């Protein structure tokens, strides 16, 4: 993945339909962001909707993203958290449960200065702690801020044409998990969910909006890539840790039935010194 600087470069790459790969961050520490950023992920989504992030944790995690050279986005709990996330220096926000044109308008108003209602302060990281002038900071902020509407309700699917009609909206994220629950079907592979996903992708593509989707792996990403998606979220820091831990445990636990080889005769004799290189612990 590219090691270009975050913020404005992320929005430019998203709008250019670059192939972008990110992950969710569920644990409010900096270490996973530094590690995964060094691996090469294009972006991290700090999950302030479903994970225990307060403003202080978001602030330091966004600093870690900058240090790792990856774009730090925040999935906010609701529109009221957009200003805080952006002041802390987020490259953008994912706004959950966008179901109408009005909800889209509110999300954009919270995220943008010009044409919106984003409150200005020269003191936070987003304004370089007062190093830049007010209008330079405003123009830079608007140019760099990425706003992604999460379509994860049947109402959002039915109103998708009105939602993507907003020029200032940068992209849509399709929340297949919540759609599956809301539609009352067994899994996201059910036909009714696939139809909803296809409707959202089609509407976005007709007006030139990028589509972001969470995938389980390369085969699923390839299928969505063929449909037109260009930004992909795979797993999370917790998911990676759980999978790697389970694999490591299974590989070693499976050796429980292996029997020790008999000692050689000379080692059985009393007083024989341990083999060369043996270390007493």
Measure the CA dihedral 185/187/188/192, to 10°: -30
Of 23, 21, 27, the C-alpha closest to 42 is 21
Place of tokens 């200005």: 120
Tell me what pLDDT residue 208 has. Answer: 97
pLDDT in tens, the chain (281 residues): 444 445 559 999 999 999 999 999 999 999 999 999 999 999 999 999 999 999 999 999 999 999 999 999 999 999 999 999 999 999 999 999 999 999 999 999 999 999 999 999 999 999 999 998 999 999 999 999 999 999 999 999 999 999 999 999 999 999 999 999 999 999 999 999 999 999 999 999 999 999 999 999 999 999 999 999 999 999 999 999 999 999 999 999 999 999 999 998 887 765 555 666 655 55
DSSP letter assigned to residue 78: S
Place of tokens 């925040």: 74
| Backbone dihedral region for residue 184 (phi beyond 0: left; psi -120 to 50: alpha; all else: beta) | left
d(CA 89, CA 72) in angstroms, rounded, equals 8
Tell me what pLDDT residue 4 has. Answer: 47
Taking every pair of Cα atoms in the chain, the longest distance, rounded to a whole number of angstroms, is: 88
Collapse the DSSP code of 251 into the 3-class scheme (helix H, G, I; strand E, B; otherwise coil) and give the result.
helix
d(CA 197, CA 192) in angstroms, rounded, equals 9
d(CA 32, CA 38) in angstroms, rounded, equals 10
Q: Please give the model's pTM, rounded to 2 decimal places.
A: 0.91
In sign, the C-alpha dihedral spanning 95, 100, 103, 108 is: positive
Domains of the chain: 8-243 (3.20.20.60)
In sign, the C-alpha dihedral spanning 32, 29, 69, 215 is: positive
* Alpha helices by DSSP H, 145-264: 154-158, 160-164, 176-183, 191-206, 218-227, 237-253
List of E strands, 12-61: 20-25, 43-47
How many C-alpha atoms does 217 have within 13 Å on its Cβ side? 3
SS3 helix, strand, coil % of the chain, rounded to 5?
Answer: 45, 15, 40
Taking residue 246's Cβ as centre, other Cβ atoms within 10 Å add up to 10
Q: Which residues contact 169 (CB under 8 A, 6 or more apart)?
A: 104, 107, 108, 147, 148, 149, 163, 209
Tell me what pLDDT residue 265 has. Answer: 85
């Amino acid at each position: 993945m590219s090691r270009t600087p975050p913020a404005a470069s992320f929005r430019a790459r998203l709008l250019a339909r670059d192939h972008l790969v990110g992950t969710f961050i569920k644990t409010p520490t900096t270490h996973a962001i530094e590690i995964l950023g060094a691996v090469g992920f294009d972006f991290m989504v700090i999950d302030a909707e479903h994970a225990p992030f307060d403003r202080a944790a978001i602030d330091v995690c966004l600093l870690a993203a900058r240090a790792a050279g990856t774009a730090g986005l925040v999935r906010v709990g609701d529109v009221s958290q957009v200003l805080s996330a952006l002041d802390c220096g987020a490259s953008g926000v994912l706004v959950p449960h966008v179901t109408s044109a009005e909800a889209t308008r509110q999300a954009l108003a919270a995220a943008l200065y010009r044409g919106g209602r984003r409150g200005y302060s020269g003191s936070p990281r987003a304004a370089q702690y007062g190093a830049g002038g007010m209008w330079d900071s405003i123009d830079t902020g608007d140019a760099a801020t990425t706003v992604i509407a999460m379509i994860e309700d049947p109402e959002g699917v039915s109103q998708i044409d009105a939602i993507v009609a907003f020029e200032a909206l940068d992209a849509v994220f399709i929340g297949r998990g919540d759609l599956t629950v809301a539609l009352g079907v067994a899994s996201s592979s059910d036909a009714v969910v696939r139809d909803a996903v296809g409707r959202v992708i089609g509407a976005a593509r007709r007006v030139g909006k990028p589509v972001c989707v969470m995938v389980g792996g390369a085969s699923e990403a390839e299928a969505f890539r063929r449909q037109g998606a260009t930004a992909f979220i795979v797993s999370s820091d917790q998911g990676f840790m759980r999978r790697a831990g389970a694999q490591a445990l299974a590989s070693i636990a499976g050796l429980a039935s292996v029997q020790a080889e008999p000692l050689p005769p000379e080692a059985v004799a009393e007083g024989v010194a341990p083999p060369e290189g043996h270390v007493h612990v």
